[in-house]
Amino acid sequence: MPEHTRNEILIRAPFDEVWRRTNEVERWTELFSEYKEAEVLERDGDRVLFRLTLHPDDDGNEWSWVSERIMDREGRSVRARRVETGPFAFMKIHWTYEEVPEGTVMRWSQEFAMKPEAPVTDAWMRDNINRNSKVQMALIRDRIEAAATAP
């Protein structure tokens, strides 16, 4: 059975600003703390193919993969998937954005399964994704809110 995660955060900024900043993949190193590099490989309208590279882990390994992201601004959602799956059997991500009086609620839902030979279990990865999503979402919130209130 695939694993699922769902995390959300309120960003006190208008939808247009949250949408723009979170969909500028080439600038994700400014929003996320985990990415060393974010390289756009191909862009075709609302579809972007890109490579993400994490900062080296404690053992000096740099993990990298290619993902595809399809943005639907009118529907206020983004669908993404890993093209190079690495230890995952598959990874699907759905981001949604909801305008509320206080700003924008951003939600991340992920569905995935690990390959049998992966070094971690599905449950371990679920817990890791949930823990890391909270950290990254808080950073994104703080950075977008700071930029939205800057003179």
Q: Between these two residues, 59 and 146, which has the higher pLDDT value?
A: 146
Q: What mean pLDDT is predicted for residues 31-35?
A: 96
Where does the pLDDT of residue 111 fall: very low under 50, low under 70, confident under 90, or very high at 90 and above?
A: very high
Residue 13 main-chain phi, psi, to 5 deg: -155, 155
Strands (DSSP E) along 2-73, which ranges?
A: 3-11, 35-44, 47-54, 64-72
Domains defined along the chain, listed by start: 3-149 (3.30.530.20)
Amino acid 151: pLDDT: 66
3-state helix, strand, coil in the chain (%, to 5): 30, 45, 25
55, amino acid identity: H
Residue 18 has pLDDT above 70, yes or no: yes
| pTM of the complete model beyond 0.85 | yes
Amino acid 149: pLDDT: 76
Q: Which residues contact 136 (CB under 8 A, 6 or more apart)?
A: 32, 33, 34
pLDDT per position as a tens digit, 134-150: 999 999 999 999 997 76
Return mean pLDDT, the chain. Answer: 96
Amino acid 148: pLDDT: 78
